[in-house]
Chains A and B, each alone.
Chain A
Amino acid sequence: MTIPSGQATETLEAAAAARIISGVKIYGKGATTVRALDAISADFGAGQFTAIMGPSGSGKSTLLHCLAGLDRLTSGQVLVRDVDLGSLDDKAMTLLRRERIGFVFQAFNLIPTLTARENVVLPITLGGKKPDGAWVEKLARSLGIADRLAHRPAELSGGQQQRVATARALVTRPDLIFADEPTGNLDSRSATELLTQIRQAVDEYSQTVVMVTHDPRAAAYADRVLFLADGRLVRELSAPTADRILDTIRELSEDG
């Protein structure tokens, strides 16, 4: 499938930070083939906070990996701003991840041998650049880790580690932030704090965030929720609340 260039691309740029068009991802060969994404199409608007939900094996993590340039589609296209990820080689993909995409993972988010501060500025120092000290300070203050920057990950609580990871995701002022179950390992208080801070980042810096989660309460922080099942987009919910999300999940499982 091809996208007409010119006008179409311009409107896309204005409307969406990222877009997946007829994305197919197939794992394995022969009898063990798994169709993780089945011709899925979706837009992710700039400055929008999108949550992706779905049962285990619905393809939500695969969708995130492919959008983020960590994995490649079997067919179809992923566009980040105006760039077709399929056209990038490994080097260009690395640069894209470094400069335009931020990550927050469920676990093992930080390099254990580096201090919190070194972890935060890693995407910048990897590019051989000097981090903007004032910006790092500001991020650390707003995430409540200003007094923790000299510590190593092992000396931080789970919540603090996730906030350091969030600061790292924000430090390059990326076009997109991807979060894969960021609250999965956190107690409810830490989870609430982290989600509040991500929400703030969306509101204050017009940050685009895509988050995969199991937790309806976490998804309720988003602007909209995409529901996946069997590699397909089955429902979309705008301005969600935890109750509406739960209702939707119930409906979908009854349909299935």
Chain B
Amino acid sequence: MWRVTLTGVVAHRLRYALTALSVLLGVAFIAGTFVLTDTINSTFNGLYDQIYQGTGAVVRATEPFNPGTNFTSQRQRIDASLASTVVKVPGVKAVALDIEGYAQLVARDGRPIGTASNGPPTLGAAWTDVAALSPLRLLPGGQPPRTSSQVVIDKHSADVGHFTVGDKVVVLTQQRPATYTITGIATWGSADSPLGATITAFDPVTAARVLGQPGKVSQIDVEAAPGVSQSQLVSRLQAAIHNPGIEVVSGQAVTAEGQETIRQALSFIGVFLLVFAFIALFVGSFVIFNTFSITVAQRLRELALLRAVGASRRQVMASVLGESLVIGVVASAAGLVAGIGLALALKAGLAALGFDLPATGLVVSPRTVIVGLLAGIVITVVSAISPARRAARIPPVAAMQDVAAESRRPSVRRAARGAILVAGGAAVLGAGLFGHAGNRVALVGAGAVAVFVGIAILGPFVARPVSRLLGAPLAMRGTAGKLGQQNAMRNPSRTAATAAALMVGVALVSLTTIVASSMKASVTTIINSAVRADYVVSSGGIAGGASGFSPQLERSLDALPQVSATAGIRSAVVKVYGKVTPVVATDPVKADPLFNIGVTQGRLAGMTSSGIAVSTQVATSQHLRIGSPVAMTFPSTGTKTFTVQVIYSVREVAGDYVLPLAAAEANFPQALFGWAIVAALHSQGITHLVIPVPQLLGVAVLAGLAGIVAAIAPSRRAARLDILQAVTTE
């Protein structure tokens, strides 16, 4: 029997090859995703191990709360003078003052190097001469920065910007932009740069001034003396410092933190690609189902003959499932290989976006192989179950009769099942789209799948009337048209199954189109309604990220004779009512005329330094009125209490909380001005649903054309059919 299966697959290899393609694509996306993320992770695990090899311990400020993966850590800086205490602790061989902050390199054409909005971070750092504690390795011919006008930059930026030692470069920091001389070019460990981030290293004094605050450092890195373990070092340092605001962590812990950060930062790539894999396999399951249904119908007599000469139902079913298993295995294996190729292509694609990855061998873990194979095989076999069951039900007497391929009328039970799935799926989808509870993405996904499957089940009911309607103009034009119309109506299940694969495709394209249009409309509406200003200057930085521009800029803009009013907006991540939330701060008096945030109570211009403005939504959910206290925890300065002085209704621009500038100056870790509208979109997303009818109609027409094009080859084969053969066989 197994032999019947195998020879059957070989005999129908062309048809199955096309079926296998969809499985192959799905598996390739899964495997490619895993290979890529595993490779990147393993690369960075190696790099971090390398970089922190000489780091025994790190002394830094404690973090009041973990800002989460969407926001960079906003630890408070510590006093540089603490280093003198640290260096006296027994077992400490050397210390380095570690200062990190925002520094944007500017290329010769005046454009920033690296895409600040969505690309890798643009980092500034302090140069340290303790080689064991420095991730930067100077390339031959370079010198460390020694004066306030010298910098060392990473090799990736040097390559991208065509800089060599001795060149001048403009660097943007929170201070005024300044021109520096490049004294050296360095690698980050053995990599050109971490993930394509740009690094500018200043001498420690300059670094403190342009990146942070004079006399303050981000952290103190400590090298252990020989024979002193990391845990010994950590406990000695803790004893010596003895300050609840300062923590000491081992080099190993910092290594693990860095590796985890990279892993989480890259997880978005994984999610994005796995969604593609899921869609490919979902469409694939329709194609497989269809192919097997057709094969079973065509091999009716062969299968009946098997039954007649003594094959059991179970054997016939196993034979069909066996074919699907063979196809699943072959397609999944090919998919794994294709996935490795895809990983290479994606790596190149990421490099093109600025995420440069060091060249290393690809990591193909057992998990990649197991998950990839399993997903491909299970999908293929499961999709073939229903056709296989139909094959098993073929009566043996069909081998002797000219039984037409069954075209049973779809049953009432089928209709009920389809209707329940569509209704249930729509409910879940609705809950996911408009509800607030649970994992909304999972709800939307599950709901969409249920609706698809439900519509596919209902397809046969629709196929007959739709075929009649759409075929009517053809049928009026002659016999050939009428035959086509009748043929589509004859077996509505087959017609519906064929259409299903196309349906999924059209649905996905439509969804993307609607989301894109809605997003665009939402942005436009927000800006039109809420921003009275004529211009918005934005660095396009990530929420709470180390980007933005100097407060100087606001003063410079104010000074321009053409400008009548400006309002700088600052941002930070805080914890309020138990949630990590981005907040903005601005000068209420200056912002009042520029923004229309729908103030319902209080006056923006009347806000004091201890006041806060909250959205009506927060006011309602937390029962806040004018005068109510709001406790807000800042990463740097801990918990502060503000008094509600304004309640406003338009959350799209301002988010849920607006602080006065004075509060930001006291509590925000970075003295940068930055995003306003970008932040609003992060928290708000789509507010306006737009259905672009012409585009959607275009998609439908294209899909119809695709269907016709796909039918050309089979039609030609049908037209070339030898007449005598057609009469004699069957």
Contacts and interface: CB of A to CB of B under 8 A. Distances in A.
A68 B280 CA distance: 47
B311 to A, nearest CB: 5
A184 to B, nearest CB: 12
A196 interface: no
A53 B312 CA distance: 31
A90 B397 CA distance: 13
B730 to A, nearest CB: 9
A118 interface: yes
A188 B399 CA distance: 25
A214 interface: no
B313 interface: yes
A58 to B, nearest CB: 16
Given A114-B3, A114-B4, A70 B395 contact: yes
A4 B395 CA distance: 32
Contacts of B315: 126
Contacts of A123: 309-310
B310 A99 contact: yes
A111 B308 contact: no
Given A111-B4, A111-B302, A126-B1, A97 B397 contact: no
Interface stretch (A101-109, A135-143, A216-224, A225-233): A101-109
A7 interface: no
B396 A91 contact: no
Interface in B285-318: 301-302, 305-313, 315
A88 interface: no
Contacts of B312: 90-91, 94-95, 126
Contacts of B437: none
A168 B310 CA distance: 11
A193 to B, nearest CB: 22
A113 B310 contact: no
B307 to A, nearest CB: 7
A94 B400 contact: no
B709 interface: no
Interface stretch (B7-15, B335-343, B415-423, B648-656): B7-15
B1 A125 contact: yes
B400 A180 contact: yes
B309 A98 contact: yes
Contact of B310 (A61, A111, A127): A127
B305 A97 contact: no
Q: Is the interface of B mostly helix, strand, loop or mixed?
A: helix
Interface residues of B, number: 24
A112 interface: yes
A79 interface: no
Contacts of B1: 125-126
Given A105-B400, A108-B301, A113-B10, A95 B310 contact: yes
B3 to A, nearest CB: 7
A97 B399 contact: no
A141 to B, nearest CB: 22
A103 B396 CA distance: 12
B396 A108 contact: no
A106 B301 CA distance: 13
A70 B400 contact: yes
A123 B306 CA distance: 9
A10 to B, nearest CB: 28
A65 B301 CA distance: 15
Contacts of B305: 105, 108-111
A107 B310 CA distance: 18
A245 interface: no
Contacts of B309: 97-98, 103, 122-123, 126, 168
Contacts of A126: 1, 306, 309-312, 315
Given A97-B308, A111-B302, A125-B1, A105 B11 contact: no
Contacts of A61: 400
A145 B554 CA distance: 98
A108 B300 CA distance: 11
Nearest to B1: A126
Contacts of A243: none
A71 interface: yes
Contact of A70 (B7, B10, B306, B397): B397
Contacts of A91: 312-313
Given A91-B312, A98-B310, A118 B3 contact: yes
Which 6 A-B residue pairings sit nearest by Cβ, starting from the closest? A98-B310, A113-B7, A70-B397, A94-B312, A123-B310, A113-B11
Interface of B: 1, 3-4, 7-8, 10-11, 301-302, 305-313, 315, 395-397, 399-400
